[in-house]
């Protein structure tokens, strides 16, 4: 195994994606909206198709705006259905994203007569390809994805830093937030905008697999390890970086072991995140299965027999 600059950039892009997803993912987890990433990943299809039909071009800016708007609409419609229709949140999400996806499929099929718009190709970039697409900034050759995802990560970081108090109160106690004069609705929709933008930007750069898994798995792992929200945020970002590194390491070594040509790095990163989750699930000092089992053991066997 030899590690060169290609591998470094792959890991860096994966890590940047993981951190940008894990930060808002913590709040999604606390609000019980973890499936939002998956929902948005299916729902953006009509946004892409409409952006294409309106502008008649495949520029990524139009696509990005269309996808982000539909991503936001997914969140808004879900909220409406669960508030006004009193539908369970998960069911509302499922109804919205399947319907939007169906509309997108039909739009694409209808426009297929005069253009070729392959949803798989337009929607999902791939980590392997985006590393090769490089630009020169200040004499340094960087993959373009590093810039876009880096920007998204910075925005997410600033968003969470500046609105930390509001986000925290709204996640744990929306009623208290309202009495303190914080508009919980505005905060909710701001978070949804951030999630939609992150998800779409990351799709375009590296594909949906990293996004769907990194929005949920590192925050859930961190949730098992701590009771403090700031610690959980830092921990989930660190776990995301670790998953990116281990994932790429796995992508380099596993095919060699099995004597096949290669595998998909983003898939391996998701698998690595899963492994880290299992480790935390078993050995977490508070929540781990091992600790719980130990806690259930009688304190002293001699004492309990004396009680009999």
Partner 1 sequence: MLRIACAMLVVRGMSPFLLGLLLSVLAAGAAAAGQKEGQDASYVWKVLTLQSHNARLVILSTTLLGGASGMLGTFLLLRRRSLLGDALSHATYPGVGLAFVVMLLLGGEGKWLPGLLLGAACTGVIGVLLVLAIRNTTRIKDDAAMGIVLGVFFGVGVALMKLVSDLPGADAAGLNDFIYGSAASLVFADFLLILGITVVAGLLSVLLLKEFTLLCFDESFAASQGWPTLALDLAMLGLVTAVTVVGLQAVGLVLIIAFLIIPATAARFWTHDLRRMLWLAALLGGLSGWVGAGLSALFADLPTGAVIVLVAAFLFLVSLLAGSARGVVPRALRQGRLQRKVGRQHLLRAIYEILEGQHPDVSAPIRNLPIAQDALLAHRSWSLPQVSRLLRTARSEDHLEEAGKGKVRLSEAGFGEAARVTRNHRLWELYLIRYADIAPSHVDRDADLVEHVLDAEVVHQLESELRDRRSSLEVPPSPHFINQPGEALDHGKAEP
> Where along the sequence are the contacts to partner 1 (CB under 8 A)?
29, 32-35, 37-38, 42, 81, 84-95, 98-99, 101-103, 105-106, 109-110, 112, 209-210, 212-217, 220, 223-224, 251, 254-255, 258, 260-264, 266-271, 273-274, 277, 281, 287, 289, 292
Judged by CB, which is closer to partner 1: 62, or 229? 229
Question: Residue 220 — φ and ψ, nearest 5°?
Answer: -65, -40
| Nearest to 43, CA basis, from 21, 17, 73 | 73
Judged by CB, which is closer to partner 1: 202, or 268? 268
Judged by CB, which is closer to partner 1: 84, or 301? 84
Q: What is the DSSP letter of 37?
A: H
CB of 61 to partner 1, least distance (A): 27
Question: Residue 140 — φ and ψ, nearest 5°?
Answer: -110, 130
Q: Which residues contact 82 (CB under 8 A, 6 or more apart)?
A: 88, 89, 92
CB of 139 to partner 1, least distance (A): 36
Judged by CB, which is closer to partner 1: 165, or 292? 292
C-beta atoms surrounding 228 within 10 Å: 9
CB of 219 to partner 1, least distance (A): 8
CB of 115 to partner 1, least distance (A): 14
| Nearest to 43, CA basis, from 82, 81, 77, 87 | 77
CB of 288 to partner 1, least distance (A): 9
d(C-alpha 62, C-alpha 64), whole Å: 5
Cβ atoms of 67 and 51 closer than 8 Å: yes
CA distances from 301 to 203, 292, 294 (A): 56, 18, 14
Judged by CB, which is closer to partner 1: 69, or 264? 264
């Amino acid at each position: 195994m030899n590690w060169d600059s290609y591998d470094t950039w792959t890991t860096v892009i994966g890590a940047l994606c993981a951190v940008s997803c894990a930060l808002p993912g913590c709040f999604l987890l606390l609000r019980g909206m973890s499936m939002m990433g998956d929902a948005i990943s299916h729902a953006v299809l009509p946004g892409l198709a409409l952006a294409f039909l309106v502008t008649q071009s495949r520029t990524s800016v139009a696509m990005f705006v269309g996808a982000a708007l539909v991503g936001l609409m997914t969140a808004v419609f879900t909220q409406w259905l669960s508030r006004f229709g009193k539908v369970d949140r998960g069911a509302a999400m499922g109804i919205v994203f399947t319907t939007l996806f169906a509309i997108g499929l039909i739009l694409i099929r209808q426009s297929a007569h005069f253009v070729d718009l392959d949803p798989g190709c337009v929607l999902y970039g791939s980590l392997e390809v985006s590393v090769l697409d490089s630009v020169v900034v200040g004499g340094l050759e960087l993959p373009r994805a590093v810039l876009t995802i880096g920007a998204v990560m910075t925005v997410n970081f600033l968003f969470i830093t500046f609105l930390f108090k509001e986000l925290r109160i709204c996640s744990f106690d929306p009623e208290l937030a309202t009495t303190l004069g914080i508009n919980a609705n505005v905060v909710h929709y701001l978070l949804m905008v951030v999630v939609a933008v992150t998800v779409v930007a990351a799709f375009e750069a590296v594909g949906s697999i990293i996004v769907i898994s990194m929005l949920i798995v590192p925050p859930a792992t961190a949730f098992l390890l701590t009771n403090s929200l700031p610690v959980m945020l830092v921990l989930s970002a660190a776990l995301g970086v670790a998953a990116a590194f281990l994932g790429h390491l796995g992508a380099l070594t596993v095919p060699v072991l099995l004597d096949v040509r290669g595998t998909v790095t983003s898939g391996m990163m998701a698998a690595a995140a899963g492994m880290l989750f299992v480790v935390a699930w078993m050995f977490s000092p508070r929540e781990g299965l091992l600790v719980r089992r130990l806690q259930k053991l009688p304190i002293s066997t001699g004492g309990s027999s004396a009680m009999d």
